[in-house]
Every structure is written in structure tokens, then in C-alpha cells.
Amino acid sequence: MELQELIQTVQKFELLCQRLTQQKLAGLFNSSFKGRGWSIDHIRKYEVGDNIKDIEWNVTARFRETFVKTFTQEKERLVWLLVDVSRSMLPAAPGQGRGKYEVALEISAALAFSAIESQDQVGVVFFSDKVEHVVPAARGKVHFWRIAKELVAARPASRATSVAAALQFLINSHAKSSVVFLVSDFVSEDYATASQVLAQQHELVAIRVAEEREAQVPKLGWVQLRDAETGRTRWQNTSAAGFHQRLEQHHEQVAGRFEEAYGPTAVRSLTVGTAGKHLEELIGFLQHAK
């Protein structure tokens, strides 16, 4: 995808938002996510009814009188996009339409633009089985252009996927409370525990991109297929019933793990396909995320 195409997609997203919700994009995004942390405003003497957890012990000891901290909500919200650039995000059949990464790219750009419109700071973490590249968080339209260019330029750097690697990076960075969008096909198996840990500090939103064609291989007899994650090629009888059963079982397992990891938790999640309705699905998700 070229940069100009991506910008046109973002413009389409903005227009779709206004048409479908009768609401400006920034307003919809602001009402859907909190993400703003709390910082100490000032210190004052303790009053009846104050939370004892807010006692400032150093000042209390110094003056021998109880003081408490008061807090104010930070005006700036920090938004992080964790974007999967592993080989499994490439199209199942090259040259045959939109693939998972292209959908992930458009969703990520739309979310970045929404956050920028809301005067938020936005950063991006590109990952495969490790963190590949980080765009530090910043605000403004110039920064959005940088993010858009980085999204277009990103290429799968590793075959394997580790969603946990991206989550652990953010956990270890000790970033302040943020809204975190995790965009991936979630083919790895290692993300449930790390997601729970991250969600204790941040508002995590998981977006799974699923390509329908991956589970719909035509019956062509014996063909050579390549595993996107391992790079290995193997001859498979695509006309055999067992082949299609195994393929269907694999995709059910991926979807099941995703649902098991996020369904019972407070983490909001969304699954989109590659058929072309992902922008509308994202807007619907934002509407109901309030």
C-alpha cells in the first residue's frame, strides 16, 4: 500500500464516522476511552472522610500533623499501538487482494488519526517475535504523518510471532497509564498472562485480524504449501477431508484462544476480517465501547 492510499483510507474513516454516528471522530474517541492518569495536585491537611491511602507520610512525619495528597486528572492521554509485522500477517495468497497486514495498517492509521485529533500523544511498537521498531509517543499532525509513513514502510522482519514480546516491552518500559491497542492475528499462544499483567496498569484493547481465505483452501490435489511462521514447505493433499479438518481445527484454536484470553476479562476485544468492512466494524466497536 502506498502512503497516499493510506491517507485516503483515513479520510474515508473520518467521513464514515460522521455519517454512521453523526459525531466527530475526536468526540467518539474521547467518549470511548479513558486512559488519562492521575497526578498529584497538591498536599493539604487531613480532613474527616479523606482516604488514608492518600496520606503523605514524609510531610506528616516532618510536621507531626497528618497531610494527604490530592490528585488531578492529567489532561494528556497516552495511546500506544502495538502492531504485528510478522510473516503470518502477509496475504494467504499473494496478489489476491487485501491481506491481514493491510487491514491492520488501515486500522492502526485510523486509530492513530483519531487519537491525534483528540490531542493525545501516540506511539507505535512494531513487533514480530520481538520488538522490531518503536515510534516514540508524540502529538500533532506532523507526528501522524510520521506514523503513517512508518506503517507503510514496515515489512515482516521475522517469521515467528510473539504477542507477549510486545506486551512485555510495554510492561517493562513503566509507561504511565495508557490506552493500548494490540493489533495482530494472534496466532501465537503466549499472550494471555502478559495481557492480564498489562491490563492492571493500562486500558488494553485487543483487535484480531482474521483472513477468511486461510481456512478456505480449494481442493487442488497435492500442492506444495509454505508455513508463514516457520518458512517450511510441505506437500499436502488439499483434496483430502483430513487436510480441511486440520485447517479448520487450527483456525478454531486461534479464535478460541483469543476468546478465552479476553472474553471473560475487562479487556475489550474485536475481531475483523479482510473482506473490506473493517472500518465500519471499528466505528461500531468505538460506539459501543463507551
Which pLDDT value is given to residue 225?
A: 67
Query: Does 158 share its domain with 191?
Result: yes
Q: Environment class of residue 69 by beta-carbon count within 10 Å: exposed (0-12), middle (13-18) or buried (19+)? A: middle
Residue 15: the pLDDT is 84
pLDDT at position 189, please? 84
**Total number of domains constituting the chain:** 2
CB atoms within 10 A of CB 256: 12
User: Which residues, 6+ apart, have CB-to-CB distance to 8 below 8 Å?
Assistant: none
Q: All 3 cell numbers of residue 72? A: 488531578
Domain boundaries, position 48? 38-73
Low-confidence stretches of the chain (pLDDT beneath 70): 34-41, 71-75, 91-97, 156-157, 213-218, 224-232, 237-239, 242-244, 246-247, 250, 290
DSSP per residue over 213-255, as a string?
Answer: GGG-----SEEEEE-TTT--EEEEETTSHHHHHHHHHHHHHHH
Of 73, 98, 122, the position where a domain reaches its end is 73
Residue 91 shares a structural domain with residue 50: no
Q: At 249, which CATH number?
A: 3.40.50.410
- pLDDT at position 144 is 93
Which of 48, 73, 98 terminates a domain? The answer is: 73
Structure confidence at residue 37 (pLDDT): 52
- Report the distance separating Cα 19 and Cα 163, nearest Å: 34
Helix, strand or coil, per DSSP, at residue 44: strand
Q: Using only the alpha carbons of the chain, give its radius of gyration.
A: 22
Instruction: Indicate if 47 and 156 belong to the same structural domain.
Output: no
DSSP assignment of 161-215: --HHHHHHHHHHHTPPS-EEEEEE----S--HHHHHHHHTTSEEEEEEE--GGGG
Using DSSP's 3-state secondary structure scheme, residue 86 falls into coil
Instruction: Quote the longest CA-to-CA distance of the chain.
Output: 84
Q: Is the domain of 171 the same as that of 50?
A: no
Predicted local confidence at residue 93, as pLDDT: 55
What's the confidence (pLDDT) of residue 226? 63
Q: 85 and 48, same structural domain?
A: no
Is 184 in the same domain as 223? yes
Are residues 140 and 265 located together in one domain of the fold?
yes
What phi, psi does 229 have (nearest 5°)? -80, -45
Same domain (yes/no): 80, 207: yes
Distance in angstroms (rounded) separating the CA atoms of residues 126 and 143:
16
In this predicted structure, what is the pLDDT of residue 211? 82
Residues 250 and 262 in one domain: yes
Same domain, 153 and 278: yes
Cell of 96: 489476491
If asked whether residues 140 and 234 sit together in one domain, one would say: yes
Question: Do 130 and 53 share a structural domain?
Answer: no
- Residue keyed to cell 480441511: 244
pLDDT the model gives residue 16: 82
Of 81, 73, 43, residue with least CA distance to 179: 81
